[in-house]
Each structure stands twice: as structure tokens, then as C-alpha cells.
Structure 1
Amino acid sequence: MIVNDGIRAREVRLIGQDGEQLGIKSRREAMQLAENAGLDLVLVAPKARPAVARIMDYGKYRYEMQKKEREARKKQKTVAVKEIRLSPTIDTNDFNIKLNRVKKFIAKGNKVRISIRFRGRAITHKDIGRDMIEKMADATKEIATVEQRPKMEGRSMFLTIAPRTDKDNK
């Protein structure tokens, strides 16, 4: 925001500290009114014709805005994307261990990206890898929804699942 001497507009539509309209004033006159009140002249709408300026305590205003920003940041929830790697030839017990880990991640509210890396000739049997990923998605369908269907990227296949929301349960 442009404050006090930084304002270059010749005329401004002035708003008082209580929000009342003071009319169109010259910049010098508006600065004088702000100084007499012991406050700052702040340009709130520079593109308007004439530009709109307000008499306010700029330091207090900035503090309030920063406070609101901090509060918004506190309430904001970050969702991490965890990754679990499977193999097309994974054994049942290993699969169950990976499944339990996926369930823990989902319970904490994280998204999970399940990937299968095809090595060597395994790339010719993509259907086995797809079945493995589908099996994982089916095993977690009560607590998670598939966000992105299985897709190939190079020698890897990926599936993304996210925790179920109340909308998903209906």
C-alpha cells in the first residue's frame, strides 16, 4: 500500500478515520488533515478516478492484517503425500505390511501414492502390476478413495488414494 508522501495522485477522494466520506481533496489538503489527526494517509484504491485515500493508523492496520494472516495459517491443514513402493512379485505377508502402513498414513489424513517399479523384463507384464495396485485400492476402499487411477510413467505405475471425506461416504 502507498502511504503518506508516496502518494502521487493530485486529487484524492478522502475517507475519514470513522469511515465518513470527506469528499474530493487535493493531496496536500488530505495530508494536512491526516497530520492534524496524528494518523497516516493511505491510498486504498489507486486505480479509481480520483484515487481513494483513507486516514488511518497504518502501523496498527498492518499489525491487524499480519495477525489475521497468522491465524489463517494456523487453521490451514497441510496434506502430505506419502509414497509406498510395491513390486509386481510381492509376497502376501510383505503386501500386508505395506497395506498396514498405507492404512496408518490414511488414518493420519495423508494422501498415499502407491507405485510399482518394473525392472528388466517385468515391464512386459504390466497387467500383474496393475492387479497388485488394484488389490491395494480394494483393500483400502472403506477408508480411502482413489484420487488418480493407475497410470504408467516410464517404467513405473502409480495410483493415488486419499482419505475418505463425509461426501465420499454418501
Structure 2
Amino acid sequence: MAKRRGGGRNRYTRREEPTPQFRINDMIRVPEVRLVGDNLEQISEELGTKVESGVYDIRQLKGWGRDLGLDLVEISPNASPPVVRMTDYKKFLYEKKRKEKEIRSKAVKTVIKEVRFGPNTDDHDFDFKVRHARGFLEDGAKVKAYVHFRGRSIVFKDRGELLLLRFMKELEDLGAAEAMPKMEGRRMNVIISPKKVQKKSKSKSSSEEEDKE
């Protein structure tokens, strides 16, 4: 029984071995591939033979890879023939993750700020929330304004729509509604996106000063 349990653990361990994100080396089973890369000049120097971007017999590239201690990595499996690079696989994955992280860090994150109204919001509260919304838009955030209808107040949907239309009008110099107010359950919503502020270029300002002179 102990031996069988031990054998089971060994088989389970083999199943847990991670599968490469890309086909590499002997996992690539096509007769020909297209070799690309920015390290072909270095590979040529180490092999002592000219290696250029182009189509090669897979066995030749695998042989070169073994001689140099490099991996053959399939980067475009659906191309005809598939495209590969000759590189260190761990370094290849590290560079890929680093570039993806840079792209994510540079991506603009959309911030949505919520402003809540009731169908009977008075003018003082309305003006207060408009001021907050203007600040959000000036900071580049979207504003999601909604009127929440409790209980029987659902009969005042028209009042809620007029309130949101007035809200949109107060903010039209800074933002534009993505769509007209609409009901979702017991809420009527509208999303306002900030407008891009057009900055005067230095060249334009300088030309204006020259005209004044």
C-alpha cells in the first residue's frame, strides 16, 4: 500500500510541472520555421557563420541552439511558417513581463466619481453637488450622477430626469454626457465624461505677441 501511495505522489508531481507559455525546443514539431531576432549578429559571431532572418530547417536551428546553450522559442505559431527566436527562455519571459508591466503602468486609468440625488433635492444641495462634480471633471474623472427613487417616489421619474438634465447643463463647459439619463432598476443614471482642455501652444502665443508689437 505504501508503495502505491508513493507512486501516486510521484505521478501527481509530474502533472504539476508548469507548461511553458510558448512552445520551445523539441516542442516545436514543424519541419521549417522563420528565424527572427535582434541578436542574430551576435549568434553569427559565436557560431562563426552568417545567420540572417529567414526560413530554416528546424533541425539546423535546434542544433545551433544546443551549441550556444540557447532555446528556440516559437513566438508566432499561426504564421506560415511559424516564427521563432533563438534566446534564453527565462530571459525572454522576464523581458516580456517587464514590457507588459510598463504598458500597464502607462495605461490611463479611468476614475468614476458618483454623485447621488433624491427626486426632492433642494437648490442648496444641488449647487453643492455641482461644485463637487466640477472638481471631479477638472481632475479628469468621469462623473456618474444618479437619482435614487425610494418607495413611492418612483412616480417622480420625470422630476428626476429634469434634475439630471439641469445637472448636465451646469457642467456642459467641462463635460459631456455619454448618453441621455436612463432608468436602471430604481435609479436614473447619467455619466458625464470630461472634455479635453485645449491649451494654447507656445508658438501661437509668441506669434500673438509679435503681432501686438
Q: What's the TM-score bracket when you normalise by the shorter of the two chains?
A: 0.7 to 0.9
Hey, what does 2:139 align to over in structure 1? 108
- TM-score for the superposition, normalised by structure 1: 0.83
RMSD of the alignment, in Å?
Answer: 2.3
| Alpha carbons 1:12, 1:52 under 8 Å: kept | no
Q: Secondary structure at the match of 2:143?
A: strand
Please give the per-residue CA displacement for 1:77-123, whole angstroms capped at 9, x wherever unaligned: 11122211101111111111111221122122111111111223332
Q: Rg bigger for which structure?
A: 2
The whole-number CA distance in structure 2 between the counterparts of 1:110 and 1:22 is: 49
The Cα shift of 1:25 comes to 1.8
Distance between the aligned counterparts of 2:108 and 2:80, measured in 1? 41
Q: Does 1:126 align with 2:157?
A: yes
Listed as ranges, the gaps of 5+ residues in structure 1 are: none
Find the partner of 1:74 among 93, 105, 109.
105
The one of the two structures with greater contact order (alpha-carbon pairs below 8 A, sep at least 6) is 1
- CA change 1:47–1:123 in 2 (3 A) is closer
Q: CA deviation at 1:54?
A: 3.1
Give the deviation of 1:125 after TM superposition: 2.5
More strand by share: 1
CA distance in 2, matches of 1:106, 1:113: 11
What is the distance in 2 between the residues matched to 1:144 and 1:50?
Answer: 50
Cα pair 2:168 2:177 within 8 Å, conserved:
yes
Q: 1:13: which partner in 2?
A: 33
- Unmatched 5+ stretches in structure 2: 1-21, 41-50, 199-213
Alignment TM-score, normalising by the size of structure 2: 0.68
Mean Cα deviation higher: 156-165 or 62-71:
62-71
Quickly say closer, same or farther: Cα 1:67–1:92, change in 2 above 3 A: same
Residues of 1 paired with 2:184 and 2:86: CA distance?
A: 58
Contact 2:24 2:71 in 1 (8 A): yes
Q: In structure 2, what is the equivalent of residue 25 of structure 1?
A: 57
